Amino acid sequence: MCSLQFCSKGRSLLPKVLYPQNSVLFIRHAQTPWNRDGLTMGQTDIALSDVGLSQAHDAAFLLGRYHIDHIVCSPLKRCIDTIEPFRFGQK
């Protein structure tokens, strides 16, 4: 079971999460300009906004203390850009 609390760090909301061993973690892509404007994207390939890039790095930093064995990601740019900081933050 996860303990989830939200805290504010700049413009990003970051979860404080405690994960048990052998967990599956789902992360939604970070903010895009269309998210910000309340538009629906579907399969339209939209990149992250500057805020979204910051959110992705913040999430990778927050979760960097956990070992991630596998990353599965959509081929859409917003999803790939969200997981890039996780991929390069792993040892």
pLDDT in tens, 19-42: 566 777 788 889 999 989 988 888
Determine the average pLDDT of the residues in 56-83. Answer: 87
Q: What is the pLDDT of residue 5?
A: 38
Q: What is the pLDDT of residue 33?
A: 93
Q: Which of 85, 63, 87, 72 is nearest to 4 (CA)?
A: 63
pLDDT of 49 higher than 70: yes
pLDDT of 11 higher than 60: no
Q: Is 42 helix (H, G, I), strand (E, B) or coil?
A: coil
This prediction has a pTM of: 0.69
When computed from its CA atoms, the radius of gyration of the chain, rounded to whole angstroms, is: 13
Judging by beta carbons within 10 Å of its beta carbon (0-12, 13-18, 19+), is residue 37 exposed, middle or buried?
Answer: exposed
